Amino acid sequence: MNFKNEIILHLIEYSPIWENNRENLTYLSEIIKDINYSDIIILPEMFNTGFSNNVSKIAEKMDGKTVQWMIDISLENHVAICGSVAISEYDEHYNRFIFVADGKIVATYDKRHLFSFSGENIFYKPGNSKVTFIYLGWKICPMICYDLRFPVWNRNTENYDLLLNVANWPKKRIEAWDALLKARSIENLCYVCGVNRLGTDGNGLSYLGHSSIFTPEGKLLKGNKVNNFIYKQIISQEEIKRCRNIYHFLEDQDHFQFL
């Protein structure tokens, strides 16, 4: 796979129709047409349905409609696309981050920290493995929403370049979202990209978006607006190297293992 010093990210924040896979995928297909060129398109948590515990209605197999849609989008637009989907597998349900490029599933990650405040832990099974993968020479670490609150789980022991967090983070706690994204970038000396939804869901929770990218020094990047729902940002490996050559904080981390 080719190495790219700079990659183009497109962040999509929109208001999904509650538990309506078909309408949401159709709508996303239309707005993605406004993207002329991208390396990675990033969608929110459960982008095809909204964040729901109604697993009997929304959960799909890995060979289901949504993953196939991601494969088709990647091929038609020559782009990588990622986000989380409710997945049913071996009689269990997972909130799964899926990264697709060139018509293939490159990586998956099952949400580790299930949001017990909403009962997510009752309906979904937690993942047990942190994931990093390489795309275009960038080491990427995927996380999902509530994972953001746990710095040890996000801890950059893998020397990753880009932390991706896809979320349904409500308006009432949006200040925490903003602060935690920035904190994760500073402590891990990496880019952090958070993509959140808009609108109101079927539980009456409101969302403001606040999708954003922070540099390895914790500076907020102002993306270019493609349309009302899509933001574009270019990020560079040179910025990571510059920061890590000045600050050697990752080398001074405490060493420990999960029990």
Catalytic, 111? Answer: yes
Question: Distance (Å, rounded) from C-alpha 111 to C-alpha 96?
Answer: 6
145 is an active site residue: yes
Which own/partner pairs from 225-228 qualify as long-range (CB within 8 Å, at least 24 positions apart)?
Answer: 226/10, 226/34, 226/35, 227/31, 227/34
- Paired residues of 192 in beta bridges: 163, 214
Beta-carbon contacts of residue 252 (< 8 Å; ≥ 6 apart): none
CA quadruple 259, 107, 58, 43: dihedral sign: positive
Q: Phi-psi bin for 71: left (phi > 0), alpha (psi -120 to 50), beta? A: alpha
Question: What are residue 165's DSSP bridge partners?
Answer: 143, 194
82, 141, 145, 190: the active-site residue = 145
| Catalytic residue from among 45, 120, 130, 193 | 45
Q: Where are the beta strands (DSSP E) in the chain?
A: 6-12, 40-42, 80-89, 92-101, 104-110, 133-135, 138-144, 162-167, 191-196, 198-200, 206-208, 212-214, 220-221, 224-225, 230-236
CA–CA distance, 202 with 18 (Å, rounded to integer): 6
Q: Which two structure tokens, joined as six digits, stand for 23?
A: 């309408």
Instruction: Write down the catalytic residue from 13, 60, 111, 141.
Output: 111
Catalytic residues: 45, 111, 145
